[in-house]
Amino acid sequence: MSTPLRRALVVLPLVTALIVSGCAGSREPAPPGAGSPSATGAAPAPTPDPAARAAQLVGTLADEDLVGQVLMPYAYGNSATKVSGGSAAGNRKLAGVETPAEMIAKYRLGGLILVGFSADDPTSDTNPTTNVDNPAQVRELTAGLQDAAGKLPAGAAPALIGIDQEFGVVTRISDGVTNLPSPMAFGAAGDPSITESAWRAAGTELAALGVNVDFAPSADVLDANSKVIGSRSYGSDPKAAGAQVGGAVRGLQGAGVAATLKHFPGHGQTAADSHKGLPVVTADRKKLEATALPPFSAGIAAGAWLVMAGHLDVRAVDPEVPATFSRKLLTDVLRGQLGFTGVLVTDAMDMAAVAKQPPGTTAVRALNAGNDLVLMPPNVTEAYDGVLAALRDGSLPRARLVEAVTRVLTLKFRLAEHPRPEMGTLNSAGHQEAARLASTSAITLLRGSCAGPLVTGPVTVTAASGRERSRDRLSQALSAAGVKVVPSGGAVVHLVGYDDTAADLRADAAVTVATDTPYLLGRAKSKVLLATYSSNSASLTALAEVLAGKARPTGRSPVPVGGLPRTSCS
């Protein structure tokens, strides 16, 4: 039997099932007027269902195209077609090509992730380059990537262009766009409608830049003092975190950007870092279902189009097998128990937790476990060749690969239904107001009086080492709020942030402020303790207003802080 005929016989039953099920979350409603007579009496043709379009396209693709569509690597360079010598060398080592566009063409890729890092980024170890300089550059880059993808046999569907835009410590694009506070700040604000509005603003700006997948929000419930998750989590209460996750999903996807729930089944259950090794989750099954899974269920109920599998050893379900490679977790629990039907993507495959085996081996293991996209393989050539060989020798069943590609293409066609916003939407007044409201609503007083100014007389702002930018921002905001700021000799307002320790506290500080997780405040002796959970301009401006007595701190700590109330304000 010929290969095309054999493929068709295998594919058709699965494709039919996928058309019926919709495969990428709940189906979109029919467009207004679909199926009803038009003004001329003729019934307008309905918009083709994304799942039907995907099923039709997948049946035409060669093996090489099927393999490429489930790979989503990173690339070096800030342009699709013109890169520096160093970026060209990086791409040659990664994929045997010189430019991102050539990488897409050679491997028929389903998409690319844009990478970068900031000073406090816990994910920086696996982001060896940056693709982000400024909004205009990002827009030109994404347009070039789509041009390259449009020439592929699967080019009827747009490429997936992803990014980790979580805000807070994991923020890839910060200049020229609206910056939201960290997820934990939204947890402190405690209002899912604020979360939805702010994330809709952020999603609109990502879409304007040509980014259509955000690897956010984190659905991790913070059950341990995990520095790798920390303020990336909405908090420690599963129900409250789930409400925030749902708001973020609705906001992003309402703007036409696919949201991703991560890191399934919950990285907040361990303090270890999967960038450096394989964390072990020791919670029993009952605790997992009560604490870790509810935000994922809430995000799925909100319609999330992707879930990211975490590199986690979940002993209660599949001991010593990373969740990335566990059919018990991904197929039985996530798809069977929680009912997720969208795209399942791995966490970065260049992370130490899973990078000990060859890239081809790990890519095949991930797909066989139920993943649909393999993110950031450490060597694109080896991953591609490994998946193609496994397809042809049967160790990766064709039906499994077709299922994965159909889900990916369904997502792509779904995203194509959303028009791209204009670049003028960046930093718009409405978006800035959404960020301001979220930042202001998050400010939490954990010690001190809620009435009146929290500082009087001259103020001296200090900060832990490396936080000079935050110090300067707060000094300027306090001056604008009418507070006299002096270089020394005033009442000390001291800032601490990500990864700071008790050694970074000041015993003489009248006010200590946590600009990341609030845990360190439990060891501070200041008469006034505040948490902003973020150090961006909006958060520090809101802090200045509270210190000056012009605003009331209405936030409530979304995590317990030893010896302190969630808020000192009723």
152 and 288, same structural domain?
yes
Confirm if 247 and 200 have CB atoms less than 8 A apart: no
523 and 467, same structural domain?
yes
120 and 261, same structural domain?
yes
258 strand-pairing partners:
213
344 and 214, same structural domain?
yes
Last residue of a domain, one of 367, 397, 427: 397
385 and 474, same structural domain?
no
pLDDT value, residue 24: 38
Number of other residues whose CB lies within 10 A of the CB of residue 151: 11
308 vs 359: CA distance, rounded Å: 18
458 and 362, same structural domain?
no
pLDDT value, residue 124: 65
280 vs 271: CA distance, rounded Å: 9
Confirm if 486 and 139 have CB atoms less than 8 A apart: no
- Collect all residues with Cβ–Cβ distance below 8 Å to 342 and sequence separation of at least 6: 23, 24, 25, 304, 305, 306, 307, 407, 411
Pair type for strands 343-346 and 374-375: unpaired
Is 35 a domain residue?
no
Report helix, strand or coil for 122: coil
Query: Radius of gyration over alpha carbons of the chain, in Å?
Result: 24
DSSP notation for 15-80: HHHHHHH-SSSSPPPPPTTTTS--TTSPPPPPPPPHHHHHHHHHTT--HHHHHHHTEE---S-SSS
From the centroid of its chain, how far is CA 410?
20
Report helix, strand or coil for 107: helix
Report helix, strand or coil for 151: coil
What is the 3-class SS of 81-101, one letter each residue?
A: CCCCHHHHHHHHHHHCCCCHH
pLDDT value, residue 198: 98
302 and 159, same structural domain?
yes
Confirm if 118 and 171 have CB atoms less than 8 A apart: yes
Confirm if 347 and 113 have CB atoms less than 8 A apart: no
- Based on the number of CB atoms within 10 Å of its own CB, is 407 exposed (0-12), middle (13-18) or buried (19 or more)? buried
Long-range contacts of 154-158 (CB under 8 A, 24+ apart): 154/57, 154/61, 154/65, 154/68, 154/69, 154/108, 154/110, 154/409, 156/53, 156/57, 157/53, 157/54, 157/57, 157/409, 157/412, 157/413, 157/416, 158/212, 158/412, 158/415, 158/416
Residue spans of alpha helices (H) in 221-277: 238-254
pLDDT value, residue 25: 40
437 vs 461: CA distance, rounded Å: 24
Is 20 a domain residue?
no
Is 333 a domain residue?
yes
Is 11 a domain residue?
no
Backbone angles phi, psi at 277, to 5 degrees: -175, -175
215 and 121, same structural domain?
yes
530 vs 564: CA distance, rounded Å: 11
Is 65 a domain residue?
no
* pTM score, whole prediction: 0.90
b or e along 256-275 (b: 16 or more beta carbons within 10 Å of the residue's beta carbon)? bbbbbbbbbbbbbbbebbbb
Is 292 a domain residue?
yes
What does pLDDT average to in each consecutive run of 10 residues of the chain (570 residues)? 39 38 37 34 64 96 98 97 96 97 98 82 71 95 98 97 94 94 98 98 98 97 82 97 98 98 90 70 92 97 97 93 96 97 96 86 97 97 98 98 98 96 97 97 96 91 94 97 96 95 96 97 97 96 97 97 92
Residues forming the active site: 275, 347
Is 485 a domain residue?
yes
Report helix, strand or coil for 535: coil
The number of folded domains in the chain is 2
**What do you get for the CA distance between the two ends of the chain, in Å?**
75
Is 32 a domain residue?
no
Backbone angles phi, psi at 168, to 5 degrees: 75, -135
Considering only CA atoms, which of 237, 232, 369, 251 is closest in space to residue 299? 251
pLDDT value, residue 28: 35
pLDDT value, residue 356: 85
The domain spanning residue 238 has which CATH number? 3.20.20.300
pLDDT value, residue 48: 83
457 and 374, same structural domain?
no
pLDDT value, residue 23: 41
CA angle 78, 81, 86 (to 5 degrees): 55
168 vs 275: CA distance, rounded Å: 19
From the centroid of its chain, how far is CA 483?
37
Residue 494 sits in which domain range?
A: 443-547
Cis geometry, peptide bond prior to residue 122 (ω within 30 degrees of 0): no
Assigned token pair, 448: 């001190």
The domain spanning residue 511 has which CATH number? 3.40.50
CA distance readout (Å), 498 to 242, 466, 501, 544 = 24, 10, 9, 20
482 and 386, same structural domain?
no
Cis geometry, peptide bond prior to residue 32 (ω within 30 degrees of 0): no
273 and 169, same structural domain?
yes
Last residue of a domain, one of 364, 397, 430: 397
453 and 350, same structural domain?
no
